[in-house]
A and B are shown apart, each in its own frame.
Chain A
Amino acid sequence: QKEVEQNSGPLSVPEGAIASLNCTYSDRVSQSFFWYRQYSGKSPELIMSIYSNGDKEDGRFTAQLNKASQYVSLLIRDSQPSDSATYLCAVKRRRDNFNKFYFGSGTKLNVKP
């Protein structure tokens, strides 16, 4: 079982719509959760982080965390073509006495003009 599971997509949404990206994780002791955006051929860049159950909003982005269901999601409102990228879900937890990041394989988002 993978540590972090994401639907690979592609997820296609029209410009201006809400894009919903989902992620599940396997280990209940995971404590910190991150969404990264990765453009093709580029390195990941942080979009949002979330540590507590509930919603966290930052501009057009909302991260949602449900630890009981081991589920993290990212909502992108008013999607723009520039949001087209692969979105990586990352979970951080302590293993071998070290806080490690575990990444999903990413969901590719296409925002159509």
Chain B
Amino acid sequence: EADIYQTPRYLVIGTGKKITLECSQTMGHDKMYWYQQDPGMELHLIHYSYGVNSTEKGDLSSESTVSRIRTEHFPLTLESARPSHTSQYLCASSEPLQNAEAFFGQGTRLTVV
């Protein structure tokens, strides 16, 4: 079982609030990813990281920001939540090898009301 954890699992929050979605992994992986997934739709990469102090925006534009101060920790922050941010957010990590798989956390289902 992969050791990657996301908290909270579910979050209902009001418009305009600042939120941080937590993601931690204990596998020592350098590469970490944030995906956004709406029901029945594909995963869209919104952020990724090569390692500590390295973050990049993904292929889907997102108003969220990320940080990577420690290898094991890759939090995602929304400064001002809006209903359009309602979605499932999945954190993943992988080894740097070309053939390495991605391990996913349990996901955070965010609802902004």
Contact = CB atoms under 8 A, between A and B. Distances in A.
Interface of B: 31, 33, 35, 40-43, 45, 48, 50, 56, 59, 90, 92, 94, 96, 98-99, 101-107, 109
Contacts, number: 58
Interface of A: 2, 4, 8, 31-32, 34, 41-46, 49, 51, 88, 90, 92, 94, 96, 98-101, 103-106
B48 A98 contact: yes
24 contacts: A2-B42, A4-B42, A32-B98, A32-B99, A34-B102, A43-B104, A43-B106, A43-B107, A51-B99, A88-B42, A90-B102, A92-B98, A98-B48, A99-B31, A100-B48, A101-B43, A101-B45, A101-B94, A103-B35, A103-B43, A104-B42, A105-B40, A105-B41, A106-B42
The 4 closest A-B pairs by CB, nearest first: A105-B42, A43-B104, A103-B43, A43-B107
A97 B99 CA distance: 15
Nearest to B91: A43
A103 B99 CA distance: 15
SS class of chain A's interface: helix, strand, loop or mixed? Answer: strand
B41 A98 contact: no
A113 B57 CA distance: 44
